Amino acid sequence: MSMTLRHHPVLGGKAALRLKDVTLEALPEGHVLQLLAAAPEAGPGLRERIGDSDLRPLAPGQWLLIGNAPLTPEDLTGLEERLKPVADIVDQSHGRVRIALSGPAARAVLAKGTAVNLDAAAFPVGHAAQTLIGHIGAHLARTGEDSFELTVLRGFAESLWDDLAQMAAEFA
Amino acid sequence: MASLIACPHCGRRPKEEFTVKGAALARPEPQAGADAWFDHVYLRDNPRGPYQEFWHHTSGCRRWLVVTRDTATHEVEEARDAALWNRETAR
Amino acid sequence: MTSYRLSQGGLIDRARPLSFSFDGKPMSGFAGDSLASALLANGQRLMGRSFKYHRPRGVLTAGAAEPNALMTIGKGGRTEPNTRATLQELYDGLTARSQNRWPSLDFDIGALNGLLSPFLSAGFYYKTFMWPAAFWEKLYEPFIRKAAGLGEAAKESDPDSFEKCWAHCDLLVIGAGATGLAAALTAGRAGARVILVDEQAELGGSLLSETATIGGVPAAQFAREATAELEALPNVRTLARTTAFGRYDGNVFGAVERVQKHVATPQVGRPVERLWRIVAGRALLATGAEERPLVFGGNDIPGVMMAGAARSYLNRTAVAPARQMAIFTTNDSGYALARDLEACGVALTAIIDSRPEGAAPGLYKGQARILTDALVRDAHGGKSLSAITIARQGRTETLRLDGLAVSGGFSPVIHLACHRGDKPVWSDAQGAFLAEDRKGLALAGAAAGLSGLAACYEAGARKAVALLDQLGIAATAGSVPTVEGDIVAPATKPLWSIPGIRGKAFIDFQNDVHRADLALAVREGYAHVELAKRYTTNGMATDQGKLSNVNAIGLLAEARGVSPAEVGTTTFRPFYTPVSFGALAGSSHGKHFQPVRQSPLHGWAKKNGARFVETGLWYRSAWFPRTGETTWRESVDREVRTVREAAGLCDVSMLGKIEITGKDAALFLDRVYCNGFANLPVGKARYGLMLREDGFIYDDGTTSRLAEDRFFMTTTTAYAAGVLNHLEFCAQALWPELDVRLASVTDQWAQMAIAGPLARTILQEIVDEDISNEAFPFLGARAVSLFNGALKGRLFRISFSGELAYELAVPAGYGESVADALMEIGKPKGLCAYGVEALSVLRIEKGHVTHNEINGTVVPADLGFGRMVSAKKADFIGKHMLAREGLTAGNRHQLVGVVPLDPAASFRTGAHILAKGAAATLENSLGHVSSSCYSPHVGSTIGLALVRAGSSRHGEEVMIWNGLRGEYTPGRLCDPVFIDPENAKLKI
Ligand SMILES: [Zn+2]
């Protein structure tokens, strides 16, 4: 049978929240791939195989490969082949949702949730860490001086959004 | 209010990000015999002072660590990856 | 009226008058006033009633230690009891009410307690209320509640918001007086990341109450300039109105910032209080010192005040505490007040100096009469001080006056340095308890026993340099600015007991503990400091003995004839001052109390009218009522029948899902499951039992082999997180030599069970591959293409219900759309949505277990899984303990089914199983019902039970006994599989 399949982005109904000093934005549900290497030392080998894609460290021997465009099954298979035998891929494109937080107050908002020191010296642009934002686990990446991305389990995405909106409220 | 554990992979994080399992003990060999297994599963030292425990950085890197914690002061002297501990110590 | 506002001076803003009310009486003050200073300025010296005797009380201090001036601020949900008037900033429209009085502050019936005081002595509670127990609840407690106590909490919910926050710094400076400012400036100028906290609204500490000049400008101006410099530095964060209340592991400090407690209507969106957790590389305690009261009769009468507090009211808020003052001091600091009073034109009758030698020559140039070697023995007056009696060289003299300022020396504020179990050390030289510098923390200035602005400034800068040096940050102390007009008060011998006292001499003002109470404790054998504290309740009030503990220790030492060092202190614990529950809860209330975890099929369930049930953080669809159905049972029975007769669709997305890859994945599974997995063919699923190392079952689920080195495991919903932790433990800590990689994919897949005889017919319409019984038999597992190649999913032919069934996993974002399509296709064939209630009935009918049965006390054989346990494998988790005698005995509790003899009768989960005719006692219990439900298939209530030697008791008649409800249901044990025991339905 053929019919129209609809994709339901979990934060699809959320308009960007633009406050004076901070902006909260749901990012497109493109692709999030969890890369699992046999050994933590596999990092450099990975780079050669994937070029300049957005690769973020997740844990020793694990990375998130992130992009705004959805991947076709063929894309995924191709990538899997390229990464062999350095790393396996587990597709998390639907299991993880990204939220962008930016503006001069972004750090102050995040400090209400995470114990990670977000000082530029300790957590420079390009840095990433898995942590708790309040009660919710999330992968936090610094994408610019004043901009961050949070990658969260799909099931918690709405709760995290609501929490962030409350944490940001004073910067309206 | 707070306790910090220095994860060797993530840096200092609050205890809320971790799950503690208890004494860091090496698993006996399969043929170790009933007594050794009984000891392993049920018997624990209860020292006042440094104690090695398994902690899991559940909300961080999800690595298991062997944390040396002083039971009297909660001072954490060392935290290392459990795989490293296993390779170097447990056998 | 005795206290009053001076016509000039102070740091208040006379251009900004503020109106407020106290006990309904309208009053006015100025911006810059505290509630206490404004009340004094309005002549209101009576501010509360004491806890036990309801004695009239006035304000004693100007800071955090205030024991008397506790008030209820605000209205409705914003009501805040026990607020210290000394720390509450005045704002326009503030309403304050006195506490602990009835019917009014001026006329209080409870003051009769004072007449009963012989019966209310120390140990009173223990002696009187010990017996009989029933009297406590009915008589004593209500009486005490009415007679004693503090303000009442509001019944309405708090409309304001609170939050928690983390901060990190190289140097945390606590206290922004001369010491703290010097430290923060030194560290800030060196580029270190500094956080400076102070509990007052304005940084400056005692500098704001000081008349000395620093660097040629008034001390307060110096403080403001220093603050401005600090606030301009990007590496410095200053937090006024912030109390550091605790020091915790890892040099983390708790602090509470009163963000909007000084405004009438807090701005929405901003918290009123913020709880900081400050991770400090190093911390400097510049917390100053607490002035010590003196223990003479009537030392609690309104009009008696600490000398430093009097000085603060005078200089900072331009309030004279009285019209005719005297000063009672043991040290030189009292003379600074004498000088300032005279400069402000307040009459000073006398300075009573306990020292035979008096002050240093030339220190005091004023006009007041000085009595050395003299003691104030008693103060007199009711609601206001009227006179004092002085004892001097054997003679007494009475002075009529309305204000007495007191200084018994200083106790450094060392609480935070002792919060992690470190004990303070008594210093004979300082006449005080001091704390030692320790790892991560140092004390400086008055907190370390120093006196004098220059010395404090120098010490603050020097200690900051030393602390930063430990972190490898270079800083220089710089020169100390010139200080002029400062009266330095070196430590003097403490004065503990004053002889010949007539009135009550209070030690703990807030808990109404007076000297005779302490003496009684000593006489009755409770002289140990910890015992005396509990016996007298000294130091147990909300001020935690800030003013009273050292005096109590001194008096105990004197009574025992030993040094205070030998008496020691009670234990210091957080919190330094009370912290509101709001701040501790932060934003975790209401909608933000805990996160909600939403299934990708939540929208589908909602559209289909689901009733939801919370399962952990998940919201699961419980049942789907239809028009005309009036009870949940009607809906559930219909859903169960539909699955058995046609087909149903259930959301099982919340099952834990773990992807396992790596070349040793199969070997790894062999070690974590008790049954074999290494031989599982690609394209097949297998039910697995995971044991704990002690041999008991941990969790169950199915694992499918998707490729040679890729498996897909499902766990129960409840243990999803635990199982992943466990697998990671095995992979990392036990067998790091194996190449096995784990990833949770619970959220990646929307997973739905399609169960019932028509399941295949319906599914085949969207699955591109052939899923006939031949092509895709029971326990098949494979990737599938859906909707003519539009989507990739995974299909598993597994069954929890006992019917022909599949679980279909699709990428979560498409879950709702796929479920909608299946509903549309299935509708003509009778497909219905079913929830966890029906799921539960279906599985009980089939005899499938959940964590109701896997309760931590069962081994595989108990559930009939004995033959699943591999005998071939040399090792797996749980193997070695499973062979124990007790775990293999034949009389263990084993899984059975249970039905009532009368199909119309029912029973509940948790009921005990008794042998027929046995007395209903716990000793006779053979086991219990672990799961039960009404079975539409059987036509009665059915249950699963864990019963002693149950597998050999099928057919036995028993009594099902619910002791809590007194229910007795005759029943029969049976096979736990109520439907299709041959599994014929699974294989069609
Ligand atoms: Zn970590």
CATH classification of the domain holding B36: 3.30.2270.10
Q: Is B11 in Cβ contact with A130 (below 8 Å)?
A: no
Q: Where are the alpha helices (DSSP H) in C500-621?
A: 515-523, 529-536, 549-560, 564-567, 581-585, 602-607
pLDDT tens for residues C224-258? 999 999 999 999 999 999 999 999 999 999 999 99
Which chain B residues are closer than 8 Å to A160 by Cβ? none
Q: Are residues A61 and A85 in the same domain?
A: yes
Q: Does residue A52 sit within a domain?
A: yes
Task: Give Cβ neighbours of residue C525 (< 8 Å, ≥ 6 apart).
Answer: none
Q: Which residues of C touch B85 (CB under 8 A)?
A: 733
pLDDT at C700 (0 to 100): 97
Domain total for chain A? Answer: 2
User: Which CA distances in Å does C202 have to C175, C261, C319, C435?
Assistant: 11, 14, 18, 27
Contact C439, C584 (CB under 8 A): no
Q: How many Å apart are CA C493 and CA C432, to the nearest integer? A: 9
Closest CA to C640 of C854, C901, C938: C938
Residues C853 and C848: their CA atoms lie apart, in Å, by 9
| Bridge partners of residue B71, in order along the sequence | none
Please, how many CA atoms are within 13 Å of residue C970, restricted to the half-sphere of its CB?
A: 6
The structure tokens listed for C34 are 């505290």
- B86 touching C (Cβ < 8 Å): yes
Same domain, C715 and C695: yes
How does residue C113 score in pLDDT terms, banded at 50, 70 and 90? Answer: low
- The mean per-residue pLDDT over the stretch C166-194 comes to 98
Say what the pLDDT of residue C118 is. Answer: 63
Q: List pLDDT tens digits, range C554-569.
A: 999 999 999 999 999 8
Average pLDDT, chain A: 94
Q: Does B9 touch chain A (CB under 8 A)?
A: yes
User: pTM value?
Assistant: 0.95
Claim to verify: residue C716 and residue C740 sit in the same structural domain:
yes
A64 and A115, same structural domain?
no
Residue C754 belongs to some domain of the structure:
yes
* Residue of chain A minimizing CA distance to C767: A1
Same domain for A99 and A167, yes or no, is: yes
Whole-number pLDDT of residue B45:
93
Q: Ligand 1: distance of its center to the CA of C271 in Å?
A: 31
Contact assignment for B21 to C729 by CB distance below 8 Å: yes
Distance between A147 CA and the closest CA of chain C, angstroms: 19
pLDDT at C153 exceeding the cut of 90: no
C551: which 2 tokens?
């005096």
Give me B72's structure tokens.
């009297």
Q: List CB contacts (< 8 A) between B30 and chain C.
A: 874-875, 879-880
Chains that touch A (3 or more CB pairs under 8 A): B, C
Does the structure show a pLDDT above 70 at C136? no
Which position has the token pair 């859903």?
Answer: C639
Please indicate, yes or no, whether residues A22 and A107 belong to a single structural domain of this protein: yes
Note residues around ion ligand 1 (Cβ under 5 angstroms): B 7, 9-10, 57, 60-61
Say if residue A61 is in the same domain as residue A108.
no
Residues C251 and C178 in one domain: yes
Q: Is the peptide bond before C132 cis (omega within 30 degrees of 0)?
A: yes
pLDDT-above-90 percentage for chain C:
90
Whether the pLDDT of residue C853 is over 60: the answer is yes
Q: Do strands C194-197 and C236-239 pair parallel, antiparallel, or not at all (unpaired)?
A: parallel
CA distance C25 to C80: 19
Q: Is residue A3 part of a domain?
A: no
Residue A12 lies in a domain: no
| Structure tokens that stand for C399 in this block | 């002075």
- Residue C221 has what pLDDT? 98
Q: What is the pLDDT of residue C907?
A: 98
Q: Say which residue the tokens 């991560």 belong to.
A: C440
- Of C279, C603, C811, Cβ closest to residue A94: C811
H/E segment holding residue C462: helix C453-470
Distances (CA, A) of C3 to B42, C41, C352, C387, C477: 71, 6, 21, 16, 43
Do the Cβ atoms of B64 and C694 come within 8 Å? no
pLDDT band at C587 (very low <50, low <70, confident <90, very high): very high
Beta bridge pairs of residue C411: C290
Residue C792 shares a structural domain with residue C781: yes
- pLDDT for residue C116: 65
- Look at residue C104 and tell me whether its pLDDT is greater than 90: no
Q: Range with the lowest mean pLDDT among C470-484, C522-536, C717-731, C789-803?
A: C522-536
- Which residues in A lie closer than 8 A to residue B13 (C-beta atoms)? 115-116, 131
Across C116-130, C312-326, C478-492, least confident range: C116-130
Assign residue A86 a region: left if phi > 0, alpha if psi is -120 to 50, beta otherwise? Answer: alpha
Distance C63 CA to ligand 1 centre (A): 43
At C856, give phi and psi (nearest 5°): 90, -5
Q: How many separate domains does chain C show?
A: 4
In a domain, C852, yes or no: no
Which chains form contacts with chain B, at 3 or more CB pairs under 8 Å?
A, C
**Confidence (pLDDT) at C197:** 98
Asked if A60's CB is within 8 angstroms of B59's CB, the reply is no
Residues 2-31 of B with CB under 8 A from C: 2-4, 12, 14, 19, 21, 24, 27-28, 30
pLDDT digits (tens, 9 = 90+) for C775-828: 999 999 999 999 999 999 999 999 999 999 999 999 999 999 999 999 999 999
Which whole number is the average pLDDT over C696-706? 97
pLDDT bucket at C132, cuts 50 / 70 / 90: low
Are residues A76 and A153 part of one domain?
no
Average pLDDT over residues C171-185: 98
Angle at C680 between CA C679 and CA C682, to 5 degrees: 120
> At B88, which helix (H) or strand (E)?
helix B82-88
The pLDDT score that the predictor gives to residue C108 is: 74
Last residue of a domain, one of C744, C774, C799: C744
Q: What is the pLDDT of residue C115?
A: 64
Structural domain ending residue among the three candidates A44, A59, A91: A91
For the domain that residue C798 is a member of, what is the CATH number?
3.30.1360.120
Instruction: With CA atoms as reference, report the closest residue to C662 among A86, A29, B86.
Output: A86
As beta bridge partners, residue C294 has none
Q: How far apart are the first and last CA of chain B?
A: 38
Full residue range of the structural domain in which residue C801 is found = 597-654+748-843
Identify whether residues C700 and C757 lie together within a single domain. no
pLDDT tens profile C865-899: 999 999 999 999 999 999 999 999 989 999 999 99
Which residue type occupies B17? E
Of the candidates C858, C980, C846, C865, the one whose C-alpha atom is nearest the C-alpha of residue C927 is C858
Rounded to an integer, what distance in angstroms lies between the CA atom of residue A51 and that of residue A40?
Answer: 19
Least confident of C47-61, C96-110, C374-388: C96-110
CA–CA dist C754, C797 (Å, integer):
10
Tens digits of residue pLDDT in C64-95: 999 999 999 999 999 999 999 999 999 999 99
pLDDT score recorded for residue C571? 87
**Strand, helix or coil for residue C439:** coil
Task: Single out the residue in C438, C466, C484 at which a domain terminates.
Answer: C484
Look-up: residue for tokens 């199915």? C702
Residues C424 and C443 in one domain: yes
Separation CA C860–CA C464 (nearest Å): 64
Give the tens place of pLDDT for each residue, C923-964.
Answer: 999 999 999 999 999 999 999 999 999 999 999 999 999 999
Rounded to an integer, what distance in angstroms lies between the CA atom of residue C170 and that of residue C194?
6
Separation of alpha carbons C944 and C745, rounded Å: 32
Whether residues A60 and B14 touch (CB distance < 8 A) is answered with no
| Average pLDDT value for residue range C527-538 | 91
- Whether A43 and A101 map to the same domain: the answer is no
Residues C906, C769 share a domain = no
Residue-number span of the structural domain to which B79 is assigned: 4-88
Chain B residues whose CB is inside 8 A of the C421 CB are: 73
Section C467-494 average pLDDT: 96
Let me know whether C897 and C967 are in one domain. yes
- Mean pLDDT computed over C375-383: 97
- Rounded Cα distance between C123 and C131, Å, is 14
Q: Which residue of C has its CA nearest to A172?
A: C269
Note whether C35 and C85 are within 8 A (CB).
Answer: yes
CA–CA distances in Å: residue C630 to residues C295, C371, C633, C891: 74, 90, 9, 45
Indicate if A76 and A126 belong to the same structural domain. Answer: no
Nearest to C327 by CA among C381, C370, C382: C370
Q: Do A132 and B63 touch (CB under 8 A)?
A: no
Residues of chain A with C-beta less than 8 angstroms from the C-beta of C267 = 170
- Cα B74 to ligand 1 centre (Å): 19
Whether C384 maps to a domain, the answer reads no
Question: Which of C452, C468, C484 is the endpoint of a domain?
Answer: C484
Q: Chain B within 8 Å of A130 (Cβ-Cβ)?
A: yes
Using the predicted structure, report yes or no on whether residue A1 has a pLDDT greater than 70: no
Tell me which chain B residue has its CA closest to the CA of residue C575: B1
Chain B residues whose beta carbon lies within 8 Å of the beta carbon of residue A37: none
C720 and C809 fall within a common domain? no
Ligand 1 midpoint to CA A55 (Å): 18
Q: Flag whether residue A131 sits within 8 Å of chain B, measured between CB atoms.
A: yes
Answer whether C246's CB lies under 8 Å from C134's CB: no
Same domain, C663 and C648: no
Is the confidence at residue C149, as pLDDT, over 60? Answer: no
CB C616 within 8 A of CB C718: yes
Distance between Cα C578 and ligand 1 center (Å): 34
pLDDT at position C139: 61
Q: What percent of chain C has pLDDT over 70?
A: 96
- By the 8 A CB rule, do A5 and C814 touch? yes
Count of C-beta atoms within a 10 Å radius of residue C631: 9
Same domain, A133 and A102: yes
Query: Judging by beta carbons within 10 Å of its beta carbon (0-12, 13-18, 19+), is residue C588 exposed, middle or buried?
Result: middle
Q: Residue C260 — very low, low, confident or very high, per pLDDT cuts 50/70/90? A: very high
**In whole angstroms, how large is the CA radius of gyration of chain C?**
38
Q: B12-67 pLDDT, tens per residue?
A: 999 999 999 999 999 999 999 999 999 999 999 999 999 999 999 999 999 999 99
Residue C814 DSSP SS3: helix
* Angle in degrees, 0-180, between the axes of helices C632-645 and C836-846, rounded to the nearest 10: 60
On whether the CB atoms of residues C727 and C658 are closer than 8 A, the answer is yes
Residue C99 has a pLDDT of: 87
- With CB atoms and an 8 Å threshold, state whether C734 touches B86: yes
Does the residue A6 lie in any domain? no
- Extract the runs of DSSP E, i.e. beta strands, from chain A: 17-18, 23-26, 31-37, 54-59, 62-67, 87-91, 96-102, 128-133, 136-144, 147-153
- Specify which residues C247 forms β-bridges with: C253
- Whether residues C758 and C795 share a domain: the answer is yes
User: According to the model, what pLDDT value does residue C227 have?
Assistant: 98
Report the pLDDT value the prediction gives residue A52, as an integer from 0 to 100: 81
Nearest CA in chain B to C693: B41
Q: What's the confidence (pLDDT) of residue C134?
A: 62
Q: Which residues of B touch C422 (CB under 8 A)?
A: none
Q: For residue A49, report the phi and psi dihedrals to the nearest 5 degrees.
A: -85, -25
A29, A96, A162 member nearest C591 (Cβ) = A162
The alpha-carbon gap from A71 to the nearest alpha carbon of chain B, in Å, equals: 26
CB-nearest partner of A131 from B4, B59, B63 = B59
Residue C154 — pLDDT band, cuts 50, 70, 90? confident
Instruction: Indicate the pLDDT class of residue A4, thresholds 50, 70 and 90.
Output: confident
d(CA A124, CA B77): 27
pLDDT at C714 over 60: yes
CATH number for the domain harbouring residue A107: 3.30.1360.120
Neighbouring residues of C523: CB distance < 8 A, sequence distance ≥ 6: none
**What contacts C710, CB < 8 A, 6 or more positions away?**
A88, C659, C660, C661, C665
Q: Which residue has the higher pLDDT, C353 or C105?
A: C353
Which of the pair, C124 or C388, is modelled with greater confidence?
C388
Segment C743-766 mean pLDDT: 98
| Same domain? A82 vs A125 | no
Q: For residues C415 and C571, what is the distance between their CA atoms, to the nearest angstrom?
A: 10
- Burial (0-12, 13-18, 19+ Cβ within 10 Å), C347: middle
Query: How many domains is chain B built from?
Result: 1
Question: Which domain does A78 fall in, by range?
Answer: 31-91
Mean residue pLDDT across chain C:
94
